[in-house]
Amino acid sequence: MGWETLKQWGDDVARIEPLSGGVANDVWSVRLNGQLAVARRGKRSDADLAWETGLLKHLSREGIAVPVPIPTTDGRLFASGIVVMTYVEGGSPQTEADWRRVAHTLRQLHRLTHGWPQRPGWRGSTDLLHADTGTRINLGAMPPEAVARCRAAWARLVGRPTCVVHGDPNPRNIRITANRVALIDWDEAHIDVPDLDLVMPHNAAGLDDEAYDIAAQASAAWEAAVCWDDDHARKCLAQVRPV
């Protein structure tokens, strides 16, 4: 089914204009019962969407600013691959102080999700020391030397506690106002080592030199593997030291 599924959110709903939502989804601003919202249509499984929407509701209840799923008229949080969420206002982080606020919010996310189950079909970075595939990652498609470099970077994370990581906290996915920091676009969220979220401008998370190096290498390796094989992936791989 296509966008006609939006009717399951009621009679007073209409798409307004497309939004940038990455390659995996078709994302639109919508008007729902007179209010601005965001509708996303993709090919994620029901189990995957249940994981994501359940996470967002949990974080919202705990005081983290996120897009909150809006239920259909019969109470479902998604239908036929479509999720409708609250619209989140704000701008991108600009200053070192902004990024310190982002780091604080990410650490709250990590603290609130210890013991959270892995996203269906996903694997974390240290899982890929022994597995070749996980969601969008296929290490078999990478040159053996590149896989060795990535795994050497991830091996430095072994034994660390895990939690939900946002997975892509770039400026486009952050909405700052004077009163709060919001995180949007949870497509890459999964269970992993929290330091992967904390490689940011100005080292705003305050990692020491060794911790920052470990996190930066592991994060670059993850980006290379997830995006392989395009220019961005190759640039990320170039940041990962040879074995």
Question: pLDDT digit string (tens) for 21-75?
Answer: 556 689 999 999 999 999 999 989 999 999 999 999 999 999 999 999 999 999 9
Indicate if the pLDDT at residue 86 is higher than 60.
yes
Indicate if the pLDDT at residue 2 is higher than 90.
no
Question: pLDDT digit string (tens) for 161-218?
Answer: 999 999 999 999 999 999 999 999 999 999 999 999 999 999 999 999 999 999 999 9
CA-to-CA distance for 38 and 69, rounded, in angstroms? 9
Which among 35, 178, 177, 194 has a CA at the least distance from the CA of 103? 194
> What pLDDT shows up at residue 158?
97
Write the CA distances from 209 to 65, 99, 195, 198, 205, integer angstroms: 30, 18, 13, 13, 12
Tokens read off for 100: 């310190």
Which among 56, 155, 165 has a CA at the least distance from the CA of 118? 165
Question: pLDDT digit string (tens) for 109-163?
Answer: 999 999 999 999 999 999 999 999 988 899 999 999 999 999 999 999 999 999 9
What residue ranges define each of the domains in the chain, with the CATH number in brackets?
A: 3-86 (3.30.200.20), 96-238 (3.90.1200.10)
CA-to-CA distance for 65 and 212, rounded, in angstroms? 26
> What pLDDT shows up at residue 1?
65
pTM exceeds cut of 0.85:
yes
> What pLDDT shows up at residue 135?
81
Cβ 131 vs Cβ 179: under 8 Å: no
